[in-house]
Structure formats: structure tokens, C-alpha cells
Amino acid sequence: MSTTSSSESSVALETLIGFCAAHPVPDTDAPRFLGRLNSGSRAIIDWRDRGIVAVLLDAVTAANGAVPLEVVGLADGKMTSALAADLLAEVAIRAAALSAKANELAITPVWAAHRALAEEFGYRFSYGDCEMICRNANWGDDLPLPDGVAWRDAWPGWVEEYVRVLHSGFADLPGAFVPRPEEIRRYLQQSGIRARILVESGRGIGLLRYTEPDNYINAVVRAGDQKGRGIGRLVMDEARRCLIANGNNDAPMTLSVVNTNTAAIELYRRCNFEIDREVAVLIRRF
């Protein structure tokens, strides 16, 4: 019986990542998607001979059992109809092997010409992923923190509470794919990633994650048991302090939110964010 050594697996992964670097897909983190957000070879569709590498991110399965599909490398940057059809058929096979209950497909530019084809395969609209932008951060004075509440850096001392708040805040939210705790810990140590947690009586009640120097807000989260306390506005004020008041750069702040999260969208609008683009996300259940 043959086996594959860890060194051989590492070489194979680096080869895939090299292909994706040579044939990049915009706004796609190929090393992270291939190396950490899937369970292994069954989740990776290696069709380099056809000019494409794709991956089912089954390490970030949603509460409804759905896994997202990401095209991480594409020669010439263009998907043909034949390739799209074969890929969607392969996804169903891989999803069954991974015991996935559904697949989510974002209609990015790669898929824009093939939405009707995806619908023929049984994909249906699930939600819209809204990209929002704030060009004017003057939404009023910072609100005072309640007595006994303070901001702390999440890494390293508060990382376990960070993980708990992230899971509780994103529970059952469409489009919320929370990585495994070990991946969250690793991610928080990356250069440019910053995470803050709002703490009360030794417990996290909200959190903020953002990326420097892009002024991108990765996560605004209120702990699941903290509804109605205005935590969201406190987190947005902290985002402004970290990104604007500290003078990282003059770029506007940006973030993404699903269109079904109407409470969050209302909060962001009050903070002068507006929807810049909306990407449809389709789902196919198995």
C-alpha cells in the first residue's frame, strides 16, 4: 500500500500555489484557501491541465452545512461554458465525498457569464454579499464606554474569548463561515491583521478585526447574548479610532456584509457607509 509523505504533500501544495500565483483570481487568497481552509485532496479540484484550480472550503462549513466553492487559479482569467459545466458536476461529486449538505457559489466576475448554467444545475439565489464603503468617517463623537468595559488586543491574552464571541455572534447568520479555532489563532498572528475585543467582567462582549494598511474592516461582531446594548456602535467607533484617528492612510474604510443582516446594514449606514457593490450568492442543496 502506497503512502504520501508530508514532504510530498507539501511539494504538491506549493506547486498548486505556484500555479495560482501565475494565474491569479482577483480577491482570492490562494495559499490560505488551499493550505488551511479545506480538509485535503478530496476538497481540491486540481485541473491544471485544463487551466484551473478550485477548492471547496469545507473547513469553514456554515451552520446550514454549506461549503463555499472558490476558483483560486484560472489561466487567461476566463471560464468557458464547458469548463464551468464540468466543474459544477465535479463539485457535486466532491461534496458527496465530503458529506457537505450544500454548496455556495458567489457570482463573481469568473462566474458572471455562467449564472444561468449554474441555475440549470440546481443553484438558487440565497443572499447578496454587499461591499460597503465609508468616505466620510464624521458620524459623530465616540460614544463613552460603559463602566467596567474596556478594549483589549485579542492576541495573545484574549484569543479564546475572541473565538467564543466570533462563534456566538455569527451563529446561524447566512454567509458567515467561521474557521476552526486553530486557524483563527494562526490568522490573528499574521502581519497586517489586527484584532480588538471589548471586555466586561473578564468576558468578551464584542470584537473588531481589521486589515492594515487597507482600512478594511474584516469583522464587527456583538456577542450573541449582548443584543440591545449598542455594542455595534462601540465597535464602529473603535474601528474609526484604529483606522482613521491613528492615521494609517487616507483610504476610505470598507467592509462586507450579507444583505439579510439588515440590522448591521442600518448600523453601517448610520456610520456613513454606503453599498458600493453587491454580489449574488447562489446555493445548491444536496
pLDDT at 1: 42
276 three-state secondary structure: strand
Domain with 270 in it: what CATH number? 3.40.630.30
Q: pLDDT by residue (tens digit) across 49-91?
A: 999 999 999 998 787 889 999 999 999 988 999 999 999 999 9
Q: pLDDT by residue (tens digit) across 227-270?
A: 899 999 999 999 999 998 665 557 899 999 999 999 999 999 99
Neighbouring residues of 48: CB distance < 8 A, sequence distance ≥ 6? 16, 19, 73
Mean pLDDT throughout 188-217?
Answer: 93
Q: Are 163 and 172 spatial neighbours (Cβ–Cβ below 8 Å)?
A: no
Domain boundary among 122, 141, 161: 122
Residue 74 lies in a domain: yes
Same domain, 201 and 262: yes
**For residue 187, which phi and psi values (nearest 5 degrees)?**
-65, -40
Q: Are 221 and 192 spatial neighbours (Cβ–Cβ below 8 Å)?
A: no
Residue 205 lies in a domain: yes
pLDDT at 251: 84
Domain boundary among 58, 88, 122: 122
Residue 286 lies in a domain: no
Same domain, 152 and 254: yes
Same domain, 227 and 104: no
Same domain, 35 and 109: yes
Q: Which residues lie across from 44 on neighbouring strands?
A: 55
Set of cell numbers at residue 135: 468616505
Q: Which residues lie across from 207 on neighbouring strands?
A: 197, 221
Mean pLDDT throughout 208-222?
Answer: 93
Amino acid letter at 25? V
Q: What's the predicted TM-score (pTM) here?
A: 0.88
Same domain, 69 and 118: yes
Mean pLDDT throughout 115-119?
Answer: 98
Same domain, 166 and 117: no
Mean pLDDT throughout 88-108?
Answer: 96
Q: How far apart are CA 248 and CA 210, in angstroms?
A: 12
Write out the residue range of the structural domain in which residue 254 sits: 133-279
Same domain, 248 and 147: yes
Q: Are 207 and 214 spatial neighbours (Cβ–Cβ below 8 Å)?
A: no
Mean pLDDT throughout 201-222?
Answer: 94
**Cβ atoms within 10 Å of 145's Cβ, excluding its own:** 14
pLDDT at 160: 95
Residue 229 lies in a domain: yes
- The total of structural domains in the chain comes to 2
Quote the percentage of the chain above a pLDDT of 70.
95
Residue 146 lies in a domain: yes
Residue 49 lies in a domain: yes
Domain boundary among 122, 151, 176: 122
Residue 62 lies in a domain: yes
Same domain, 146 and 273: yes
Higher local confidence (pLDDT), 114 or 227: 114
Residue 128 lies in a domain: no
Q: Taking Cα atoms as reference points, which of 188, 187, 179, 202 lies closest to residue 155? A: 188
Task: For residue 10, give Cα distances in angstroms to 14, 15, 52, 186, 247.
Answer: 6, 9, 20, 18, 40
